[in-house]
Amino acid sequence: MGDVDALGALYGRRPVLMPQGKSAVFGKVAIRKLYHAVLADVRITSTGKLREVVTAGDRGFFWTSYSLRAASKAGGQITESRGKSVFIFTRQRDGLWKIARLIDNSDE
């Protein structure tokens, strides 16, 4: 299974995840539950390209393009996808940058 704790640690306080074709997910606990549910059933491999990074004070954004492959752990089903994501991030009190909003959009 993927590292749900490592993924969850990327998010700051009160984050919002806006996945393709799904309702927005509010808060670290709910986002972690979503990652856990997805990664329990599928193995995801991906590549990406950083397209742009902009910062202004303690806020910023970057966007990426990606290609991913999701394989069912039960066997059989393999899904391939291309898309882009926008990450809005904020600098935390400890100086670390964390995700405040993540918007995902596939090309299909």
Query: What pLDDT, in 10s, does the model give residues 44-72?
Result: 999 999 999 999 999 999 999 999 999 99
Q: What is the CA radius of gyration of the chain?
A: 14
What pLDDT band is residue 2 in, cutting at 50, 70 and 90?
A: low
What structural domains does the chain harbor?
A: 4-106 (3.10.450.50)
| Whether the predicted pLDDT of 98 surpasses 90 | yes
Residue 28: per-residue pLDDT: 95
pLDDT in tens, 69-85: 999 988 878 999 999 99
**104/86 Cα distance (integer angstroms):** 7
